[in-house]
Structure 1
Amino acid sequence: MKKNKKMRWLIGISLLLLVTSIIYSVFRDRDPYKYYTGLGSELAISPNDEKLAFSYFLDGFEAIYMADPDGGNVTKISKENEGRFHTPRFSSDGKQLLFLSADHEGIQTLMIMNVDGSKSKQISDNDLHIIDAVFSPTGEMIYYIAMPAEDYKKAEGETKEGYDLYMIDRNGEEGRQLTNKDHFTMNDLSISKDGAEVYYSLFDGNIEQIYSYHIEENKEAKVKEGIKGDMYASVFSPDKQFLIYTAVTEESKNSSLFEYELFSKSLETNETKRLTNLKANIQSPVFFHHTNKLAFLVYKNWPNDPAEYQLMTVSINGGEPEFIDLNLPASEKSHWLMKTFDFLLNEKAIAVYYVLLLGSITVSLQRRSGRVFLPALISLGLAVFAFIGSFVIAAIMNPWVGIAVGMVAITLFLCSLLLNLFAFIIKRFVKPI
């Protein structure tokens, strides 16, 4: 009798944990950066090479910081205490910074401020989602990549709108759209030294390549100096003698995890040189303006979230990369309570509680009727139903929702196999009590 009572308690607790986990999983904030403290994904170097600008998360809030090239004199520049501010870009005279501000829906608007953080203001409309921006050489105009905010919120396949190139003056006036291509991806925005061309990378259906937009001719064209193969985070040197980019290494192409290293290509000799061998994911390479040196970020825990970055430099002539130790503020909160909830009530916990619940029912049935395989068979039936339903949902409603349901079906199937094995062991080796 006591054992039956304990089993009922175990079933009840398992059911409560399972239901609570499902409800929590539906409504919880899935932002991996909500408690994060660490570097953001973009950086910039001032025209005189005396300052680095970057974003930094502190307890989930991202702000713009500046530091000396050796990592000293770290200073928070953006004045707002909450929100997400990132992707800083210096003006050519080094007196102003562009940056992006993300709202709670992830929609990003364009901001501008002085390098001391004063006179911060929004200069783009809220109806555009902006992913990158750059000053013109004169500092009067700003070019940026954006798409309609309403379309950004839609799932893939629900809209035909994509990214295009826009321009606006630094006062937030005279804005207009320059291209109408609706690109699926559009990244790595930069501008030529004379301001005649804007560069960006596009996925042309097969590979990622560099394109240019000639401002006076209103014409988009592929840059001939591109690389035969995928290239990412591409940037020209200030004198346009070198093209720097990241690419998947040959040795990692046949592995389960691609590694992205830093490469340089001389546009004079067409010689390509590998600059790093860090066996990681290199991002955001930026040229110093007065030395043959680059700063870049190493995605240390690639491909996990939140991304943990490390700031490094390397010479374009080769040599070992050097680590820059930034004296950044430490986290001020532990967030232990919410982190505990996330750990105990996440998606993986749902599978554990599901198996625990049906496993407890299996033991209970063994004592009562001997039908130990019934919970496993019911679970298998649910898996088959979910698997068939995933195709129906993908065809009728939304492919991404269908994929999600399909993943649930696979999880249910694996749990069912485990429950069948458990039932077999119970049936074969354990005597009913």
Structure 2
Amino acid sequence: MSLKKKNLLFISGVFILYLCLYWTGTFAATPTGYTGIGKEPALSPNDEELTFTYFQNDHGALYSAPIEGGMAKLLLKPEEGKDDLQPAYSPDGESMLFLREWEGEEHMHKQLMLYKDGGLRPLLGEEEYVPYAAFAPDGEHVYFVKNSKYTETYNNRTQPNGFDIYKMNLNTEEIEQITNMNTVSISSLQIIEGGKKLMYSKSYETSSIKILDLESGKTKTILPVSSDYSKAQSPTLSSPTRSPEGKVIAFADVASKSSNGTFQYEIFTMDTKGENIKQITNFSDYAGHPRFFQHSNHLLVTVDRNFAGREPDYEYWVVERDGSNRKEIHINIPEKETEPPS
């Protein structure tokens, strides 16, 4: 057999092998996108469980796991192309709010959902955009932030605008508008003092914490009395949350810069007057989204080990309020996705 014929047979064989591998999936395109835990877990009222979003190739579903770590279980299988985010437990721990997000033809959607007794109930329509939601202490009402309009940007896309805080009765689905700010800067929401007041933060221009008295309608502003706690030029506190007894506020802010100039966020605490500011974490990365335990002096903290990178690398940690005895929560995700419990 001639060398030319041998080369032709060899090339033909390689081509046939390639086709076989392609059609059997060996050379087929593999899914891409972020795989890992999300940034805003929820801590159960009894401090024994956390619920979080786990992303598989950019597709986010809700899972739960023991607070000490271990094997997670699928809580709710989302719709195709939609991500379930930002879970929030009811006061009795029997139901949960979360936000279902997806990319629409004209704008991003973020729909308020209720998970209860294994069933799913949308609380608002698909066109509503809700960035934050929380249960009232009575478990029969929920408060949420919602936009009133969309503003056109570019390429025929729009972005949500004109946000305010609303209240819904879960039994009647009656909705009451609580604020009339028409703003873009609401960046958190917490119901405090037995449902008598709301605490939220504003992030536009000067970041601050607001306390709204629902009976009088009066608003009180809380700011750290000094910016010396941060090595950044303009501190911008985020994710504030008040402790169960109401004496301490935990928040995330820039503590310093890395050698290459990247901001390093840590968790701080202060009293409700903005005084006695203390840095309680030293992760030298990004620490954020603090959650107070209800029955101990601990905080649940989310850490991003790749804050300046293209994709995040989140971890969950438990630390004492003074920053001591920190411990990472190691969670195992089942290799094969099973159906959620009925």
Q: How would you bin the TM-score normalised by the shorter chain?
A: 0.7 to 0.9
Moved more, 69-78 or 158-167: 158-167
Query: How far has the Cα of 1:328 moved from its partner?
Result: 1.6
Amino acid at match of 1:113: Y
Q: How does 1:24-35 map to 2 (within 5 A)?
A: 35=33
SS of the counterpart of 2:150? helix
Query: How far has the Cα of 1:184 moved from its partner?
Result: 2.4
More helix by share: 1
Rate the CA distance shift 1:149–1:76 in 2: closer, same or farther, 3 A: farther
Equivalent residue for 1:5?
none
CA contact 1:61–1:81 (8 Å) conserved in 2: no
**Equivalent-residue separation in structure 2 for 1:146 and 1:220 (angstroms):** 19
SS of the counterpart of 1:145? strand
Query: How far has the Cα of 1:237 moved from its partner?
Result: 0.5
- What TM-score does the superposition give when structure 2 sets the normalisation length? 0.78
Q: Deviations over 1:65-96 (max 9, x none)?
A: 11101112411111335320010000111111
Equivalent residue for 1:113?
115
Equivalent residue for 2:189?
189
Query: How far has the Cα of 1:171 moved from its partner?
Result: 4.5
Equivalent residue for 1:216?
215
Rate the CA distance shift 1:48–1:193 in 2: closer, same or farther, 3 A: farther
**Equivalent-residue separation in structure 1 for 2:100 and 2:190 (angstroms):** 20
More strand by share: 2
SS of the counterpart of 2:194? coil
Query: How far has the Cα of 1:315 moved from its partner?
Result: 0.3
The partner residue of 2:67 within 59, 66, 69 is 69
SS of the counterpart of 2:129? strand
Is 1:148 matched with 2:138? no
Equivalent residue for 1:252?
257
Is 1:299 matched with 2:289? no
The partner residue of 1:231 within 200, 212, 237 is 237
Query: How far has the Cα of 1:53 moved from its partner?
Result: 1.0
CA contact 2:149–2:161 (8 Å) conserved in 1: no
Runs of 4+ off more than 4 Å: 224-229
Is 1:313 matched with 2:318? yes
Q: Deviations over 1:128-161 (max 9, x none)?
A: 210010000001111111213633x646xx8894
CA contact 2:185–2:204 (8 Å) conserved in 1: no
Amino acid at match of 2:249: L
CA contact 1:128–1:149 (8 Å) conserved in 2: no
Query: How far has the Cα of 1:264 moved from its partner?
Result: 1.4
Equivalent residue for 1:180?
180
Q: Deviations over 1:341-368 (max 9, x none)?
A: xxxxxxxxxxxxxxxxxxxxxxxxxxxx
Higher radius of gyration, 1 or 2: 1
**Equivalent-residue separation in structure 2 for 1:76 and 1:159 (angstroms):** 32
The partner residue of 1:42 within 10, 25, 40 is 40
SS of the counterpart of 2:119? coil
Query: How far has the Cα of 1:170 moved from its partner?
Result: 2.3
Equivalent residue for 1:78?
76
Q: How high is the sequence identity, in percent, across the aligned residues? A: 27
**Equivalent-residue separation in structure 1 for 2:223 and 2:251 (angstroms):** 15
**Equivalent-residue separation in structure 2 for 1:111 and 1:66 (angstroms):** 17
- Unpaired runs of at least 5, structure 1: 1-32, 333-433
Is 1:93 matched with 2:87? no
- What TM-score does the superposition give when structure 1 sets the normalisation length? 0.62
Q: Deviations over 1:22-49 (max 9, x none)?
A: xxxxxxxxxxx96321111211111111
Query: How far has the Cα of 1:50 moved from its partner?
Result: 1.3
Amino acid at match of 1:68: P
Q: How does 1:246-395 map to 2 (within 5 A)?
A: 246-249=252-255, 251-252=256-257, 256-267=261-272, 270-329=275-334
Equivalent residue for 1:10?
none
